[in-house]
Amino acid sequence: MKPKRSFLDWLIILCVIFIFNLPLINVVMTSLKDNKTISQSPPPLVFNPTIAHYRDIFTSSTFSFWRFLNNSLLIALFSSAITLLCCLPAAYASVRLGLGPGWLISFVANLRSVPLVVFAPSVYVLFKQMNLVDSKLGIILIHILVNSPMALLLLASFMQDIPKEIEEAAYLDGANKLLILLKIVFPMLSSSIAAVFILSFVYSWNEFLFALILSIRRSTTLTVGASLFITAWGVQWGRIAAVTTLAVIPPFLFAFYVQKYLVEAFSGGVKE
């Protein structure tokens, strides 16, 4: 039986949650202030809230909120799904079939530690030659490449937790490698697969660098769209805060709905 938490425990937990969410709280508050209140220093804690900035981003002729939202959703969903489809067989082949040297996964994962801005010029030149600039396909491809090291490393580590005896028993019963992968390995890794999908989705949704250099008009995402309010005449902090607040909602709801898979994956990894 788990011990009950004391009032002090809950107070500490709430304080930690509040501290970590201060940036988000500040963004939400800024989105509800008028421009005059935003420019005040120090910023007032008590003010008359307004939804003018939200109204502006929905009615602006230069800011296509719904198109940017649609682009972000399509790019995040497709890049996350394709990342899983590519990395699941690769992780299984490396862990169970012994394909490739033992250091390969660690090497691929270490590539993710290299600052992405190092690759930005080469990526732009290459994608420009392939006519992938200002296309959702181009951003999806680069997000797959960026997410793959993390996905491959996590899936490989989760697969190592699956007892080999289970697969050997299925093999003796006449199942081939593909059937074992589809009927045994994937179901046992359902929580881990969901966790990797969530992490890939959140990265793709929030990614800014490549979405900025590879988009001009048609493939603009919400993160890049928010930067349109930074102009030579000033920064429209209220509108940026309003877009940021709305952009947080979809991944937050998605992660909240499937949070149990994250807990299961990183506490156990393999579904019994």
The pLDDT-based confidence of 44 (bands split at 50, 70, 90) is confident
151 DSSP assignment: H
Highest mean pLDDT among 105-114, 178-187, 221-230: 221-230
* pLDDT tens figures, 33-43: 998 888 888 88
pTM value is: 0.85
pLDDT of residue 180: 79
For the four alpha carbons of 205, 207, 208 and 210, in that order, the dihedral sign comes to negative
The pLDDT-based confidence of 131 (bands split at 50, 70, 90) is very high
Nearest to 124 by CA among 220, 214, 211, 212: 214
* pLDDT tens figures, 244-270: 999 999 888 888 877 776 776 666 545
Q: How far is CA 82 from CA 28, 58, 186, 268, in A?
A: 33, 32, 16, 25
Q: How far apart are the first and last CA of the chain?
A: 22
* pLDDT tens figures, 6-16: 778 888 989 99
So what's the architecture of 64-267 in CATH? Orthogonal Bundle (1.10)
* Domain ranges across the chain: 64-267
For the four alpha carbons of 125, 131, 133 and 135, in that order, the dihedral sign comes to negative
Report the C-alpha gap between 93 and 152 in whole angstroms: 11
* pLDDT tens figures, 63-94: 899 999 999 999 999 999 999 999 888 888 88
Report the C-alpha gap between 200 and 84 in whole angstroms: 9
Report the C-alpha gap between 91 and 208 in whole angstroms: 28
For the four alpha carbons of 104, 106, 107 and 111, in that order, the dihedral sign comes to positive
Q: How far is CA 112 from CA 12, 213, 265, in A?
A: 35, 19, 21
